[in-house]
Structure 1
């Protein structure tokens, strides 16, 4: 008979301390950004540094040694990491969201994940559920493929959606928590930007998943998790708002890094074909800088409202209604668009050398252009979802990501 897992509660650093830790990693992340992009994976030293700083256990339950922080902390940490490396910040956001989802599984699953390692990491994918699932006595056997699994190269566990057959013939969508060493990872992430995320394809081939590592998807999506999460944590809300927060933080941080670079270089860069001493003397440069800064500031304000709204409802123990959830999704898309537009303006202001492969601006431009087109943000669906909610109709008729 195995010994019971002993809970380990650690001191929870406040938001200021955690953001300070992220700030302290900025130089390291920046130094490894080229390597991360070339290798299409975060450098081992980057993962170790984020882990040792506790920035990958923000959403891990306190009873398992995590911090159980709020959404504003996740946003601010991801933003600060993004100023060093967009890919690293994106992975931190996804892995923390994955740890949150893992915390909603039955206690036996949490003991498996963190019982021996409070820094264990869970990747999360919200793609279409695996089509091949069969019941066995103590769980299910799963075969399927999930693309775009950010964090799969650096996780010990992976949460993915599966469609469990029911007697009524209508599939029951569940999260399945799978060991990373029991699935295969296909090298499919060959993209122009966010290359360091290594968001490859995960493949399961007749993988057994015990019953305690299955949890219904809809209650998590709808924020119906009261009493499920660690009692030391505040009531949590819908998954969609939480999942996007780390991603938009990465985009904001990248845009801020581009702004800092262009503004600093403006004092030493000439304006070709003009008599201006440097770029800062040009009214056009000043106008571009003002426009980009305003868009980034607006993106930050919107992102803060999303995070604060989720936290406010969580503290009040009130589930977020569909209109607010739909607004959060639309505003997340707006944050990505504003960051993308700001960086486009900044590259024009800096000049054509921004596209030199040795210039970090071109990598930031590619990262933000790819990241801001994440499926949760693009193709006009967020606008449709919010508009449908505003006229009193169910936005889930258009998309389940609400």
Structure 2
């Protein structure tokens, strides 16, 4: 590893903070391992322990952990670039890295006592995060609440020490108080429900709580976190001010971009040795149709990268300025995240057609990348036309939250 680091005084020791180039280089150094383990990852429906260990050792799962507790507290563009680099090796592993880093960001927004509890033993403790609508039963008690219920699609739950999930606390006024609850992973159960065609390695199973006590220090209000209005809610020294949904998608779209780039590299490299069936062309690279397909797919991936960079840079610029994103900008970020996924999906579809029917052979990595991108790009935050409605509502002066809480 290079010496490109920044020295930061921590509570107990000096923490060396790698810069973006160093962290991306570390991610690139893991691509061969991730690519090799991708078949096992998919077969076992979880990222392998050695891949998780390698990402952890490289510091790639502490990007959003507070510096005062040994983390790197990087900007969002760094998270995007690291996830993209990991995605070239395995989209599932990159997805997990994105979600766990977002979960660590969320855990850092709890009171300092909770942060101390999460990372007191190691700065590599990992927190899964789920933004699903709260449905669990919640019983207020002295000093906290007792929670029972289930949350589906919890990416990263197989590799996390903590889980942050939404709950609705009953109030005397009758309207529930929606809060994030931070629960130790060893106190919840995991129901094996993730049987999907793609992104199988994310192990996005269902988390189950059965009368778990959550103390007040591990509860924070949902709306201020959603809106980036963190003054008086979290540690004011934390450098990020942003809508939670604005940052949550950044690691996810990085995984999709990386997977699309891996597909492009594979098809382009194989084109020099693959024939064009039923033609007189020496190989695929001689065919104008193949060339046009490559140009189309490459252009779409390049556009996806540009849009993703704008999202991350917008988040970082607002955070540095100490300004909250308005609803229109938040809605735009959600729609643009959706567009990144769509562009990656369309590019990979084109690449598999260009490569030929053997792309769908189970031994060909293209079919795995195709399934991963098609599933990942249809994440609830990206799909069903809701992001377009959300942004359109904001553009005409309406409140997009009337349509979706993910803004």
Query: Which bin holds the TM-score, normalised by the shorter protein?
Result: over 0.9
The Cα offsets for residues 172-205 of structure 1, whole Å up to 9 and x where unpaired, read as 0000000000000000000000000000000001
Q: Secondary structure at the match of 1:55?
A: coil
Cα distance in 1 between the residues matched to 2:14 and 2:241: 20
The Cα offsets for residues 190-234 of structure 1, whole Å up to 9 and x where unpaired, read as 000000000000000111111100000111100112465555542
For the 8 Å contact 2:111–2:235, the answer to whether it is kept is no
Q: Hey, what does 2:77 align to over in structure 1?
A: 72
Pair 1:137 & 2:130 matched: no
Q: Hey, what does 1:351 align to over in structure 2?
A: 356
Instruction: Select 1:38's aligned residue among 40, 43, 46.
Output: 43
Q: Hey, what does 2:318 align to over in structure 1?
A: 313
Pair 1:128 & 2:152 matched: no
Instruction: Select 2:337's aligned residue among 324, 327, 332.
Output: 332
The Cα offsets for residues 250-304 of structure 1, whole Å up to 9 and x where unpaired, read as 0000000000000000000000000000000000000000000000000000000
Q: Hey, what does 1:19 align to over in structure 2?
A: 24
Q: Secondary structure at the match of 1:267?
A: coil
For the 8 Å contact 2:394–2:400, the answer to whether it is kept is yes
Q: Hey, what does 2:4 align to over in structure 1?
A: none
Q: Hey, what does 1:298 align to over in structure 2?
A: 303
Q: Hey, what does 1:263 align to over in structure 2?
A: 268
- CA shift, 1:128, in A, is 1.5
Cα distance in 1 between the residues matched to 2:98 and 2:232: 24
Pair 1:85 & 2:109 matched: no
Instruction: Select 2:382's aligned residue among 363, 373, 377.
Output: 377
CA gap of 1:8–1:212, structure 2 versus 1, over 3 A, is farther
Q: Hey, what does 1:277 align to over in structure 2?
A: 282
Q: Secondary structure at the match of 1:387?
A: helix
Q: Which runs of at least 4 in structure 1 moved beyond 3 Å after TM superposition?
A: 5-9, 226-233
Q: Hey, what does 2:245 align to over in structure 1?
A: 240
The Cα offsets for residues 341-365 of structure 1, whole Å up to 9 and x where unpaired, read as 0000000000000001110000000
Q: Hey, what does 2:199 align to over in structure 1?
A: 194
Pair 1:111 & 2:95 matched: no
Equivalent residue pairs, number: 398
Q: Secondary structure at the match of 1:12?
A: strand
The Cα offsets for residues 309-328 of structure 1, whole Å up to 9 and x where unpaired, read as 00011111110000000000
Cα distance in 2 between the residues matched to 1:209 and 1:233: 24
CA RMSD of aligned residues (A): 1.1
Alignment of 1:142-291 (within 5 A): 142-226=147-231, 233-291=238-296
Cα distance in 1 between the residues matched to 2:324 and 2:236: 17
Q: Hey, what does 1:361 align to over in structure 2?
A: 366
For the 8 Å contact 1:329–1:382, the answer to whether it is kept is yes
Cα distance in 2 between the residues matched to 1:211 and 1:300: 41
Q: Hey, what does 1:389 align to over in structure 2?
A: 394
CA gap of 1:249–1:322, structure 2 versus 1, over 3 A, is same
| Structure 1 gap ranges (5+) | none
- CA shift, 1:375, in A, is 0.1
CA gap of 1:255–1:268, structure 2 versus 1, over 3 A, is same
| Structure 2 gap ranges (5+) | 1-9
- CA shift, 1:8, in A, is 4.5
Pair 1:49 & 2:54 matched: yes
- CA shift, 1:131, in A, is 3.1
